[in-house]
A and B are shown apart, each in its own frame.
Chain A
Amino acid sequence: MMDTTLLLIDGFATALTLQNLLLALLGAFLGTLIGALPGLGPSNGVAILIPISFSLGLAAIPSLILLTSVYYGAMYGGRISSILLNIPGDEPAMMTCLDGYPMTRAGRAGEALALSGLASFVGSFFATCGLVILAPQLVGIALLFGPAEYFVLYTMAFATLGGISAGNQAKSVFAACIGLGLAMVGIDTQTGVERFTFGEVHLFDGIDFLIAIVGLFALSEVFHFIEHHGTPGQVGAGGVKVGRLVPDLATVRRCVPTLGRSTAIGFLAGVLPGAGASLGSFLAYSVEKKLVDPQGRTFGKGDPRGVVAPEAGNNAAAGGALVPMLSLGVPGSGTTAVLLAVLLSLNITPGPMLFAKNPDIVWGLVAALFIANFMLLALNIPMVGMFTRLLMIPTRILMPVVAMIAFVGIYSITNSTYDMLMMVAFGALGWVLRKLSVPLVPVILGILLGNQMEVNLRRALTISDGDWSVLVGSPLAIVLWVIALAGFLAPLLLGAMVRRRMNGMSAGASDAD
């Protein structure tokens, strides 16, 4: 521990120069912007800036500072468009829409932004601390998870899915099934067989969830707007008050336990390679909902805790994902994959020997993360007022801009016109689903998690020669099954109880506070 502290101080000594602080500021600003734009997420952000750091001729530490600031910045920024426009800036920010946007509708956009900024800070701050203290030990957790355990983990996520939306649960299940179906498209890695590709080479790699997200959320808003001939639809301005910018102390205090739980859950989800920030924010939200609002009275209708939980969760997961990346060389998410490539290009090989061989780099990186984090807090809280101005933009101007950013964003990633058409198709699907009031979030979760769930089941069964008992073959798997079952059954049992009680109470209990 003493050594760690000394090393960290060394790390700060290398990291804290004027140039590095300016780079961190630049990275934090660009990252926030990139995160907020629909379609551009942390991985594109980092990827776009790699050539810049090369052509600036930056050394290892300054490059890392720039790029990690962008990484953390994009994780912060993703929430902004979720809260203000109901359009997630990137996939981990999806869960933030659920309560963030209702808060905006209720004139509490400023509060939602400030709270989620704070939650992002707490999540990533403690995750970075966890990275410092526990990285070597945490590797053990990743090694507990074989294919069977991963399968059960994803099953658990799906089992709690019914609880996330406030409305009709059957519709959530329907939406998740659409997502699962879409996840099947592409070449199956376990057999090499094409599935649902119709011989179309663009579909061989499966459906990119970014295209699905931008289509389902952003374009469907645009279609909705067009349908109503410009009268304000779900998005945006018309008549929404901005309200106070800073939440009162009581609200903040009520969010503290949520912050703690969500940070822990998010961090653990991040440590597992492959699970990443999306699972972190999803689990944080659904656990929080189960714990503090099992009756579904406030969550989904603008509960501040519903904003805090996923934001703390996804930012903690972003920190957690660095554990397997640094100590095993396994990227836990798209973004860490890009960061891994950056490290490699700087002549640093992540892996079991990194902490022993390049301690200066590791601790410099950790120091960079802390710096980025404080920079982002300093940048984000005062900027809340500026962000909320976005709501004053008339919808007729905002919508075309959203459409333009969506197209440019997707094209810049894939360079493929086919993907733009696919995005339009997803927009149409999203528009139809909205008409049927089917929630969109489970569709994306189905795509994101379904693939991993299936692949891990297949791996587990290949290894066991088709023996299904492997799925309950370890204590960890059994514990996860129990949680999954509890998560699935609890709403059904509680629901019946609650309905009986609710009959006696006023239906107007949806007052969010």
Chain B
Amino acid sequence: MRNFVLGLSCLTVASMLAMPVSAQQFAPKKPECIAGAAPGGGWDFVCRTTAKVMFDLGLVKERIQVVNMTGGGGGVAYAHVANERADDDNLIVAASKSVSMRLAQGAYPGNTMQDVRWLAAFGAEYGAIAVAANSDIRTLDDLVASLKDDPRSIAFSGGSSVGGNDHLKILKLAKVAGIEDLRQMKYVAFSGGGEAITQLLAGSVQAISSDFSEIMGFVESGDVRIIAVLSPERLAAFDQFPTAKEQGYDVTGLNWRGLYVPRNMSDEAYGFWLDTVRRMTASDEFRDLLVSAGIEPLSLFDADADALVASDIEETQALSRELGLMN
């Protein structure tokens, strides 16, 4: 998340270099971007940077206003968009994997993924599993051996609540590793990756499941050792860290960021926003910046973004059922 923000903000510089765009049929009036959480979070920055970059590139004539609508882990904003603004042409909303996961778990009561239109997923941040630098655990095999011996011997900290992304990542690993009862896995939820890693350093927990970029700084300082990155291939900019896959555990875990729009937005407006987001994310500078920040570019638009959300939901529901978090 951290590097994502960093990457996006670098964009503001990069965007100065990009070219303006030809005139569009549709021009948004008083466009808004809703972030379903307080200022300072991931959604807030998706909105603020999108708003800035689009304006700087000349893709929108009016500045997009960012509105923070807090509550329900994004559920208040989701319900607002689905129920009250369903045909608004001038609205985009920040999204991330936690939106699709909450939809899967029924945490947005009365709403499903069909209630909005998924516009884009434009950045992927992969998870990582790490231990303290002085830990005996050196590889994923070591970790799995300890877990198989006694699943309760290792407590994982993470920045999401139980059932959230950081938790599901280790459950997926446990499942692939052949650990029978997933409920035995010990996961301790903290409010954010920073707190989770502090408790790893304090020795309260034995391992952490978090986003790669949250952990990275502590690897450089020599406090923490990453034992697996949960990406399909080694990260381009940080290829010294082995993936889980190459260690024989086919697990990936990513957190994506993107946007959704109201369900009944006119086709003209939808076309405009789709084109605008494509243009925003297409520049070379954008890609370079993402890679150097430890974030893999992701270019899923329209139907592909929709499919991503659907697969998130399917996976989350299967795991949540197994864990007894939902029926």
Number of interface residues of A (CB under 8 A): 55
0 or 1 for each of A141-183: is its CB under 8 Å from B? (1 = yes): 0111111000000000000000000000000000000000000
Check if A205 sits within 8 Å of B70, measured CB to CB: yes
A390–B327 alpha-carbon span in the complex (Å):
58
Q: Is A137 an interface residue (CB 8 A)?
A: no
A331–B155 alpha-carbon span in the complex (Å):
23
A204–B9 alpha-carbon span in the complex (Å):
31
- Taking CB atoms, residues of chain B closer than 8 Å to A344 are 2, 5-6, 9, 45
Check if A143 sits within 8 Å of B201, measured CB to CB: yes
0 or 1 for each of B152-192: is its CB under 8 Å from A? (1 = yes): 10010000011110000000000000000000001111111
Check if A353 sits within 8 Å of B220, measured CB to CB: yes
0 or 1 for each of A188-200: is its CB under 8 Å from B? (1 = yes): 0111100000010
0 or 1 for each of B180-213: is its CB under 8 Å from A? (1 = yes): 0000001111111011011101111100000000
Check if A463 sits within 8 Å of B70, measured CB to CB: no
Check if B221 sits within 8 Å of A351, measured CB to CB: yes
B113 → A minimal CB distance (Å): 16
Residue B10 contacts which of A43, A347, A351, A419 (CB distance < 8 angstroms)? A347
A197-251 at interface with B (beta carbon < 8 Å): 199, 201-205, 208
Check if B9 sits within 8 Å of A190, measured CB to CB: no
Determine the residue in chain A with the shortest Cβ distance to B193: A329
Q: Is A3 an interface residue (CB 8 A)?
A: no
- Taking CB atoms, residues of chain A closer than 8 Å to B191 are 189, 274
A145–B155 alpha-carbon span in the complex (Å):
17
Determine the residue in chain A with the shortest Cβ distance to B10: A347
Check if B9 sits within 8 Å of A208, measured CB to CB: no
Residue B194 contacts which of A143, A199, A201, A330 (CB distance < 8 angstroms)? A330
A242 → B minimal CB distance (Å): 38
Check if B70 sits within 8 Å of A414, measured CB to CB: yes
Q: Is B307 an interface residue (CB 8 A)?
A: no
Q: Is B283 an interface residue (CB 8 A)?
A: no
- Taking CB atoms, residues of chain B closer than 8 Å to A340 are 40
A144–B198 alpha-carbon span in the complex (Å):
10
A203–B39 alpha-carbon span in the complex (Å):
19
- Taking CB atoms, residues of chain A closer than 8 Å to B325 are 192
A194–B305 alpha-carbon span in the complex (Å):
29
Determine the residue in chain B with the shortest Cβ distance to A342: B40
A416–B77 alpha-carbon span in the complex (Å):
9
Q: Is B73 an interface residue (CB 8 A)?
A: yes
Determine the residue in chain A with the shortest Cβ distance to B49: A345
Given known A-B contacts A146-B202, A328-B198, A341-B45, A462 and B186 have beta carbons under 8 A apart: yes
Check if A329 sits within 8 Å of B163, measured CB to CB: no
Of A330, A331, A465, the most chain B CB neighbours within 10 A belong to: A330
B45-66 at interface with A (beta carbon < 8 Å): 45, 48-49, 52, 66
A361 → B minimal CB distance (Å): 14
Determine the residue in chain B with the shortest Cβ distance to A147: B204
Check if A414 sits within 8 Å of B69, measured CB to CB: yes
Check if B199 sits within 8 Å of A146, measured CB to CB: yes
Check if A191 sits within 8 Å of B192, measured CB to CB: no
Check if A353 sits within 8 Å of B161, measured CB to CB: no
Number of interface residues of B (CB under 8 A): 61
Residue A187 contacts which of B107, B192, B203 (CB distance < 8 angstroms)? B107
- Taking CB atoms, residues of chain A closer than 8 Å to B10 are 347
A460–B321 alpha-carbon span in the complex (Å):
26
Residue B75 contacts which of A201, A349, A415 (CB distance < 8 angstroms)? A201
Given known A-B contacts A47-B38, A324-B198, A462-B155, A347 and B9 have beta carbons under 8 A apart: yes
Check if A463 sits within 8 Å of B192, measured CB to CB: no
A56-73 at interface with B (beta carbon < 8 Å): none
Check if B188 sits within 8 Å of A204, measured CB to CB: no
Residue A189 contacts which of B69, B75, B161 (CB distance < 8 angstroms)? B161
- Taking CB atoms, residues of chain A closer than 8 Å to B195 are 273-274, 330
- Taking CB atoms, residues of chain A closer than 8 Å to B41 are 341
Q: Is B44 an interface residue (CB 8 A)?
A: yes
Residue A201 contacts which of B68, B108, B162, B220 (CB distance < 8 angstroms)? B108
Check if A419 sits within 8 Å of B188, measured CB to CB: no
Check if A330 sits within 8 Å of B198, measured CB to CB: yes
Q: Is A459 an interface residue (CB 8 A)?
A: yes
Given known A-B contacts A199-B109, A347-B6, A349-B2, A192 and B161 have beta carbons under 8 A apart: yes
A102–B220 alpha-carbon span in the complex (Å):
53
Q: Is A338 an interface residue (CB 8 A)?
A: yes
Given known A-B contacts A344-B6, A462-B188, A463-B155, A416 and B71 have beta carbons under 8 A apart: yes
A43–B161 alpha-carbon span in the complex (Å):
23
- Taking CB atoms, residues of chain B closer than 8 Å to A508 are none
- Taking CB atoms, residues of chain B closer than 8 Å to A429 are none
A144 → B minimal CB distance (Å): 7
Q: Is B128 an interface residue (CB 8 A)?
A: no
- Taking CB atoms, residues of chain A closer than 8 Å to B199 are 146-147
Q: Is B124 an interface residue (CB 8 A)?
A: no
B166 → A minimal CB distance (Å): 12
- Taking CB atoms, residues of chain A closer than 8 Å to B162 are 189-192
Check if B189 sits within 8 Å of A189, measured CB to CB: yes
- Taking CB atoms, residues of chain B closer than 8 Å to A203 are 72
- Taking CB atoms, residues of chain B closer than 8 Å to A47 are 38-40, 68
A455 → B minimal CB distance (Å): 8
Check if A204 sits within 8 Å of B152, measured CB to CB: no
A330–B157 alpha-carbon span in the complex (Å):
14
A347–B191 alpha-carbon span in the complex (Å):
23
- Taking CB atoms, residues of chain B closer than 8 Å to A483 are none
Q: Is A352 an interface residue (CB 8 A)?
A: yes
A26 → B minimal CB distance (Å): 20
Check if B66 sits within 8 Å of A51, measured CB to CB: yes
A143–B49 alpha-carbon span in the complex (Å):
34
A241-272 at interface with B (beta carbon < 8 Å): none
0 or 1 for each of A11-51: is its CB under 8 Å from B? (1 = yes): 00000000000000000000000000000000110010011
Check if A201 sits within 8 Å of B109, measured CB to CB: yes
A351–B6 alpha-carbon span in the complex (Å):
14
Given contacts A142-B198, A147-B188, A147-B199, 13 further A-B contacts (CB under 8 A): A54-B48, A187-B161, A273-B198, A328-B197, A331-B192, A331-B194, A344-B6, A347-B10, A351-B217, A352-B221, A415-B67, A459-B188, A463-B188
| Chain B residues within CB distance 8 Å of chain A | 2-3, 5-6, 9-10, 12, 38-41, 44-45, 48-49, 52, 66-73, 75-76, 79, 105, 107-109, 152, 155, 161-164, 186-192, 194-195, 197-199, 201-205, 214, 217-218, 220-221, 223, 325
27 A-B contacts (beta carbon < 8 Å)? A50-B39, A50-B48, A51-B48, A142-B198, A145-B202, A146-B203, A187-B161, A189-B191, A192-B164, A202-B71, A202-B76, A205-B72, A274-B195, A329-B197, A330-B192, A344-B6, A345-B48, A347-B6, A349-B3, A354-B217, A413-B68, A414-B68, A416-B69, A418-B76, A419-B71, A462-B187, A463-B205
